[in-house]
């Protein structure tokens, strides 16, 4: 007679041994995974500290440039904004955390090579631009190492936003300033003619009845232009869904910045010509007049964002209605 393999509880002894072995294997796997994860986190922390130490000199020079040159005052706000957007998306980052150590190390190595190629040159603004590009690429590699490609894809916008930490090379910056300077002068000329104000123009110089002004590069409005560009990109990322709406919002920035700057120049010029030349030389109005106009520009961007959002919803409803009618 075959002996029963059931214990008092009715569970087979062989099955019980197999279950215990399976639980043991699971415990060993979890312990191994936790050890590997902790080891990878330690390596990532070590890489982050090493990267910060290696790029310490260009980071300090970037801080000095942003503090001393008004053209680059936005550089210090970019990493804060990018890190905030990453923090907001922390759930998406951690939910799909699949580390990509090989790809991450490869990207970090490319950033290191870029930085190494720029070594040996004098610390000019152009070299600082190359060094910051290398730093940002290395940051991307560290992110891939820690969180993987899926998280990188989901947080592509804040990671790309770090590119605004790169100071424009001198030649490119001069071209941007010249574009804004020339466009502002053309707009001022049109507004003077529209308002019936007699002004003789020669290049960037305008001669009025009692005053002569010259639109310098400092009056090009490049600071507010950079600020409006970043604001439009963030507003489009947060509030809009379609590429055409986001592109429209960004495209409005250039004419908006030019018109805003032209109104500022005209207002100060008329005050200086008719009341006191000090309005254009050294006055609180001259130093701070751009602030209320910048706030007005932000309000215009906000209104345009709301309008584009409504248009997106309208097009979406019409598309859904059309698909439903075809079905």
How many C-beta atoms lie closer than 10 Å to residue 293's C-beta?
18
CA terminus-to-terminus distance, the chain: 70
Taking phi first (over 0 means left), then psi (-120 to 50 degrees means alpha), and beta for anything else, what does residue 203 get?
left
User: By the 8 A CB rule, do 152 and 104 touch?
Assistant: no
CA distance 155 to 197: 51
User: By the 8 A CB rule, do 162 and 82 touch?
Assistant: yes
Bridge partners of 201?
Answer: 206
The residue whose two tokens read 């005050």 is 271
- What confidence tier does 291 reach under pLDDT thresholds 50, 70, 90? confident
3-state class (DSSP) for residue 28: helix
- Which value, to the nearest 10 degrees, does the dihedral of the CA atoms of residues 9, 15, 21, 26 take? -90
Digit-coded pLDDT (tens) for 206-245: 887 777 888 887 777 888 899 999 999 999 999 998 899 9
Digit-coded pLDDT (tens) for 167-185: 988 888 889 989 998 998 8
């Amino acid at each position: 007679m075959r002996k029963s393999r059931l214990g008092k509880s009715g569970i087979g002894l062989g099955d019980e041994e197999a279950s215990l072995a399976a639980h043991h294997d699971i415990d060993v796997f979890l312990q191994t995974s936790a050890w590997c994860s902790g080891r990878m986190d330690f390596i990532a922390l070590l890489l982050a500290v090493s990267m910060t130490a290696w790029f310490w000199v260009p980071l300090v020079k970037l801080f000095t440039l942003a503090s001393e040159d008004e053209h680059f005052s936005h550089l210090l706000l970019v990493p804060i904004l990018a890190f905030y957007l990453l923090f907001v998306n922390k759930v998406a980052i951690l939910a799909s955390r699949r580390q990509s150590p090989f790809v991450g190390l490869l990207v970090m190595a490319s950033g290191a090579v870029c930085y190494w190629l720029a070594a040996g040159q004098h610390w000019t603004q152009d070299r600082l631009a190359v060094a910051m590009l290398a730093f940002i690429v290395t940051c991307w590699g560290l992110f891939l190492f820690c969180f993987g490609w899926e998280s990188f894809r989901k947080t592509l916008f804040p990671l790309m936003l770090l590119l605004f930490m790169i100071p424009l090379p001198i030649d490119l910056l001069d071209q941007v300033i010249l574009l804004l300077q020339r466009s502002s002068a053309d707009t001022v000329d049109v507004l003077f003619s529209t308002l019936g104000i007699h002004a003789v123009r020669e290049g960037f110089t305008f001669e009025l009845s009692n005053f002569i002004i010259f639109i310098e590069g400092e009056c090009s409005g490049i600071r507010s232009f950079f600020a409006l560009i970043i604001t439009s990109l963030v507003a489009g990322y947060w509030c809009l869904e379609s590429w055409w709406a986001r592109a429209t919002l960004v495209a409005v920035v250039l004419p908006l910045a030019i018109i805003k700057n032209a109104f500022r120049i005209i207002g100060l010029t008329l005050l200086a010509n008719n009341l006191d030349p000090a309005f254009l030389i050294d006055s609180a109005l001259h130093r701070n007049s751009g602030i209320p106009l910048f706030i007005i520009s932000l309000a215009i961007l906000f209104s345009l964002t709301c309008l584009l959002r409504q248009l997106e919803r309208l097009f979406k409803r019409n598309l859904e209605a059309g698909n439903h009618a075809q079905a």
